[in-house]
Each structure stands twice: as C-alpha cells, then as structure tokens.
C-alpha cells in the first residue's frame, strides 16, 4: 500500500475547514450545561500532555503506526469500526446481556445520555485546545469513508466509551474486566480506520478516568447511579426468571 503526506498547500484548506467546525463545537461546548461535573473540572488542558508536535519524530512514528494498523486491519474489524461511528451505552449490551436495552431501562438510558453529554463536552474542549489534525488530514491516502471535521486529540470515542465502561463497572463489578476491554477495543477501532492516532486513544483513557473521578464526587451523580443500579438489577433478575 502506497502512502504520501500532503503538502502544506493542500493541507491548509483541510485545516481551515476543521478549524471552523471545531470552533463551532467548542463554542457550544463552553456553553453546554454540565449534569454531573463542576465547570472546568477536570481541566483537560492541564490534565493531558500535549500531543506530538507536527514535524517531530514522535508525530512521524505515530502516523506510521496508523498506516501500519490500517493496512493490517481485517475487513470485519473495519466494518465494526465504521458501525461504531455513532454509539451509546448500549454498545455494551453484548458484554452485559440482552436484558440491557433501552426498552427495559428508561432511567438508565436517561442517566447515560447525561454521562455521555458531559464526557463529550470535556473532550470537545480538549480537541479545540490542542488543535491536532486527524491522521487522514495529514495523509489523504487514509481518507476513506465518511470523514469527521473536528480535531483528533483526545479521542471522543475512547473517552466516552471508557467513561461508560468505568460507570457500568460500578453497576456490574463482576463484568469490569470485560467492560474495560470492550471500551479499549472500541477506541482502537478508531485507529484501524485512521480517525485517530494511538496517542489520541491513550489520552482518552486517561481523561475518562479523571471524568469518572469527578462524577463520583457529585451528589446528583451518586443518587442517580443508585437509582440506575436498582433498575438494572431488576431487569437482570427478570431476565433470569
């Protein structure tokens, strides 16, 4: 497979388009209503180390890893990655069990929508701050399929899915390892389709842990989590009978 890096002249329109899109996202993120997080905490801009510099050997190695991962990805892995462009907590149903669905769990659905919205807001602020172009913006040979217009670091998929996994593990501690493994896999899928660098994925995992730590300090979160636990346990018990 042959790859080439686009010139600065060709890259500039891509960056400009991405900047416009992310500026819009960042404005809405700053104005977003947070449900279970205090404003500015966690501070993604100080929590995470900056991504590799654009012309550094570290960046070149990160991009080379993306190329190799994309080249090695099996068709079923690519299909799974593409199917996860839009996702919710119910992407974990296969790990948890068929009873874990929106029909059975209205309170759980509402709760995790708030959890995901908070995680997405924090991640969007990080993307706007670090302004890292996605791999396919740097190497257009990687630009396949429906392409995102916002920036790359940290990964939203990695952050949000790890947040899901960590919160779900509070509800279903016996499934903790499987939940975390699934979250890691969903993050890695994004590398397999060149939407993210590995460093974006790892940053998302770190950010997710910080977000959940802040959640656990929040009284409303703890109250809602207890209510969700009751609903999940009831649905799980009913499924066994």
Residues 175-213 pLDDT 10s: 999 999 999 999 999 999 999 999 999 999 999 999 999
Whether 126 shows a pLDDT value over 90: the answer reads yes
* DSSP label at residue 7: P
Whether 7 shows a pLDDT value over 60: the answer reads no
Whether 172 shows a pLDDT value over 70: the answer reads yes
Residues 216-234 pLDDT 10s: 999 999 999 999 999 999 9
Give the model's pLDDT for residue 223. 98
Spatial CA neighbour of 158 closest among 202, 215, 124, 95 = 202
The rounded distance, in Å, linking the Cα atoms of 216 and 65 is 35
Provide mean pLDDT across the span 115-127.
Answer: 98
The values of phi and psi at residue 29, to 5°, are: -65, -45
Residues 36-90 pLDDT 10s: 999 889 999 999 999 999 999 999 999 999 999 999 999 999 999 999 999 999 9
What dotted CATH number matches 8-240? 1.20.144.10
Whether 33 shows a pLDDT value over 90: the answer reads no
What are the extents of the domains in the chain?
A: 8-240
CB contact at 8 A, 154 and 136: no
Give the model's pLDDT for residue 89. 98
Give the model's pLDDT for residue 17. 41
> Which one is predicted more confidently, 241 or 213?
213
Give the model's pLDDT for residue 4. 41
Give the model's pLDDT for residue 19. 41
Give the model's pLDDT for residue 28. 56
pLDDT band at 32 (very low <50, low <70, confident <90, very high): confident
DSSP characters over 144-171: -SSPP-S--SS-HHHHHHHHHHHHHHHH
Q: Which pTM was predicted? A: 0.87
Give the model's pLDDT for residue 55. 94
């Amino acid at each position: 497979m042959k790859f080439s890096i686009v010139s600065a002249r060709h890259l500039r329109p891509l960056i400009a388009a991405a900047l416009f899109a992310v500026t819009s996202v960042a404005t809405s993120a700053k104005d977003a209503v947070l449900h279970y997080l205090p404003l500015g905490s966690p501070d993604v801009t100080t929590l995470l180390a900056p991504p590799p510099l654009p012309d550094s050997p570290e960046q070149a190695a990160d991009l080379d890893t993306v190329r190799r991962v994309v080249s090695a990805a099996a068709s079923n892995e690519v299909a799974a990655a593409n199917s996860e462009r839009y996702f919710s907590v119910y992407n974990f149903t296969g790990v948890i069990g068929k009873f874990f669905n929106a029909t059975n769990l209205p309170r759980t659905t509402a709760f995790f929508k708030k959890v995901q919205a908070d995680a997405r807001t924090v991640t969007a602020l990080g993307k706007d701050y670090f302004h890292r172009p996605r791999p396919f913006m740097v190497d257009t040979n990687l630009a396949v399929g429906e392409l995102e217009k916002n920036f790359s670091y940290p990964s939203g998929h990695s952050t949000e899915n790890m947040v899901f996994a960590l919160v779900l593990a509070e509800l279903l501690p016996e499934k903790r390892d499987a939940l975390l493994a699934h979250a890691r896999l969903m993050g890695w899928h994004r590398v397999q389709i060149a939407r993210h660098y590995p460093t974006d994925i790892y940053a998302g995992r770190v950010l997710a842990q910080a977000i959940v730590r802040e959640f656990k300090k929040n009284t409303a979160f703890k109250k809602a989590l207890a209510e969700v636990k009751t609903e999940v346990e009831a649905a799980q018990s009913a499924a066994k009978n």
